[in-house]
Structure 1
Amino acid sequence: MKPIVFCLLAFFMIHAASAQTKTFAEQLGYPAGKKVIIMHVDDAGMSYDSNEGALKAIHDGVATSVSVMMPCGWVPGFVHILKKYPEIDAGLHLTLTSEWKEYRWGPLAGKPTVKGLVDAEGAMWPSVADVVKHATADEVEAEIRAQLERARTMGFEPTHLDSHMGTLFATPAFIERYVKVGMEEKIPVMFPGGHNTAIRVDERMNDAMFAMTQTIGKQLWQAGLPVLDDLHNVSYGWKLPEGTPATKENLQNFKTQKYIEGLKNLKPGLTMVIMHCTDPTEVFPIISGSTQTREGDLLAMLDPKLKAYIEKEGIILTTWREAMQRRGKVK
């Protein structure tokens, strides 16, 4: 082979290989090798305390995005906040379960339309397994669309869609409807379709599952939507070491260090880091036994040490709104 031909062939092979290994973040125009993070607060609208925690985490802390549980009682309160602060990046935390014992909610589509989503109390089922057992994909899609319709009726256009308790990831049929609605409505969908380094370990993803994420990631990208390179979803399980008093100082120090470790271990690309920030009153412990971890998340987001680490490491914080704007500029 002539030297010039060999050089051209080598150039094109290297170029093709680099194109194939580009992260979705790079394809969106973010610098190569950078960690681009959506610091995301789940469960707004679930309670007054959840609303206050989400707002503080974004306005006073390093959180950048939030999603709203549309069937819940404090949704009007949070939508009123969004109207006051329209710059907040807010999506729909698509909700198909009602997991607490004393405080519950039902489907927005109504029981006659989605009977399989309703338990004996007239609320949504308390567990993901119950939804899988009783609900059809048609019912799931109907409820997704009802939650989107309520948001729009209230004047709230979501920046993205994601899934409460991961219910929409429980079966291939549920995933299909979740992705379908996002693509049809041109709303970004929380879906890790990239290298998935963290989520593969966290979810014990086998090769078939990983291949499925790659296929769906490409579908979402081709539909004009941004795609996550990875998903970090383990903070809910971070508990104070046994015997450590649950003071605000201890909670903040513990959770801040866990988030720093989590960010350190992430690979470059667009990653969503999930948390649940609550500013608890005396009522929240009656709703849920998760007060400690949720308050700890809020305290970590407010901690100057976490902000300083993010800045020192050159981590780029972003939102779903920005990711979608960037996707619109990519041919």
Structure 2
Amino acid sequence: MKNSFLCLAILFTITAHAQETTFAEKLGYPKGKKILIIHVDDVGMSYESNQGAIRAIREGVANSLSVMMPCGWVPGFVNYWKQNKDLDAGLHLTLTSEWKDYRWGPLAGKSNVKGLVDSQGALWSSVSEVVKNASPDEVEMEIRAQLDRARTMGLEPTHLDSHMGTLFATPEFLQRYLKVGMQEKIPVMFPGGHNTVVQQQEKVIGDQLAMTRIVGKQLWDAGLPVLDDLENSSYGWKGPKNGDKSEKALQKYKTGKYINAIKNIKPGLTMVIMHCTIHTEVFPHISDSYPTREGDFLAMIDPELKKYIEKEGIILTTWREAMERRGKVK
């Protein structure tokens, strides 16, 4: 009997969580619908990244992007954005510089954030090195310097997110990231809802899951929209097993992966992350990740993916719209 009551209690808890009102519903989106922000990272890193993101939005189903402010092709994107301010453009807060032959440094100045720079004067190559060497104060200083550059260039970001997840690496870094977003009234990428996909991909359980919901409520109470979930597995989709890297093969492979991923997403507001580049002879000299990035771009412009999204009645939105909706909710 005792075990029976325990089973019923567990079932009740699971059912209660399943019936919770999603943040999407709180924002006024229809109940039971999948609401997606299809988001392109790494804009400003290179010419190819800029063109991949812009074309993925203009010609495909992507609808949001974020910019790496320390990188060399930021002016190229911002100049385009000034003529196309309908683009949903946030900041891809950047605390690492991971490529061997193509690197960038902090915007706060080396002398002000010594813990963020390596022997070359560039940002560290890995998240673990940032964690080992940088202080929370330095992290916040660099976040604010990147926001300041954006605003100096005339770009008011629609949201903030984190390159390579560095700002999620420690509770102290996360606190500074959330602090800046709440103080500046800028939405931040943080999955604070049911986190169904996050639980599967990141193995988030127990206290960690409870923490995400506490933070989600904190962000909501601060007047910001909150994600119900996050789909962040696309970077690991390297290409067909047979090694075929032709455009046709990459597109078919990646489109299939996105359709399967979207099938697994539960109703609510979910951000789907990707990295889009167009093909050039130069980008492979920056990174060997070009097949997955080109595949992302090709998937975004694939009519089959658009057809699937429309057939399933999936609603696409942006961080700008989510913030506008949040402002109307008491």
Change (3 A) 1:309 1:20: closer
How far has the Cα of 1:323 moved from its partner?
0.2
How far has the Cα of 1:204 moved from its partner?
1.2
Q: Does the 8 Å CA contact 2:17/2:194 hold for their aligned counterparts?
A: no
- Paired letter, 2:274: M
Name 2:326's counterpart in structure 1.
Answer: 327
- Whole-Å Cα distance in 2 between the matches of residues 291 and 29 of structure 1? 38
Aligned residues: 315
Residue 206 of structure 2 is aligned to residue 207 of structure 1: yes
Residue 54 of structure 2 is aligned to residue 55 of structure 1: yes
TM-score normalised per structure 2: 0.94
Name 2:35's counterpart in structure 1.
Answer: 36
Any unmatched runs of 5+ in structure 2? Answer: 1-15
Q: Kindly, what percent of the aligned residue pairs are identical? A: 71
How far has the Cα of 1:162 moved from its partner?
0.1
- Paired letter, 1:313: E
How far has the Cα of 1:241 moved from its partner?
3.1
- Whole-Å Cα distance in 2 between the matches of residues 318 and 53 of structure 1? 20
- Paired letter, 1:294: R
Name 1:14's counterpart in structure 2.
Answer: none
RMSD after superposition: 1.2
How far has the Cα of 1:247 moved from its partner?
0.6
- Paired letter, 2:106: P
- Whole-Å Cα distance in 1 between the matches of residues 274 and 112 of structure 2? 32
Q: After TM superposition, list the pairs within 5 Å mapping 1:14-33 onto structure 2.
A: 21-33=20-32
- Paired letter, 1:24: F
**Any idea what SS the aligned residue of 2:273 has?**
strand
- Whole-Å Cα distance in 2 between the matches of residues 180 and 86 of structure 1? 26
- Whole-Å Cα distance in 2 between the matches of residues 215 and 242 of structure 1? 41
Name 2:238's counterpart in structure 1.
Answer: 239
**Any idea what SS the aligned residue of 2:75 has?**
helix
Name 2:83's counterpart in structure 1.
Answer: 84
Name 1:144's counterpart in structure 2.
Answer: 143
Any unmatched runs of 5+ in structure 1? Answer: 1-16
- Whole-Å Cα distance in 2 between the matches of residues 19 and 184 of structure 1? 32
How far has the Cα of 1:243 moved from its partner?
2.1
- Paired letter, 2:85: P
How far has the Cα of 1:208 moved from its partner?
1.4
How far has the Cα of 1:245 moved from its partner?
1.4
**Any idea what SS the aligned residue of 2:155 has?**
coil
The range that moved more, 261-270 or 206-215, is 206-215
Name 2:299's counterpart in structure 1.
Answer: 300
**Any idea what SS the aligned residue of 2:161 has?**
strand
Name 2:64's counterpart in structure 1.
Answer: 65
**Any idea what SS the aligned residue of 2:146 has?**
helix
Name 1:11's counterpart in structure 2.
Answer: none
How far has the Cα of 1:19 moved from its partner?
12
Change (3 A) 1:242 1:165: same
How far has the Cα of 1:20 moved from its partner?
7.4
How far has the Cα of 1:280 moved from its partner?
2.3
- Paired letter, 2:303: P
Q: Which runs of 4+ in 1 moved over 4 A?
A: 17-20
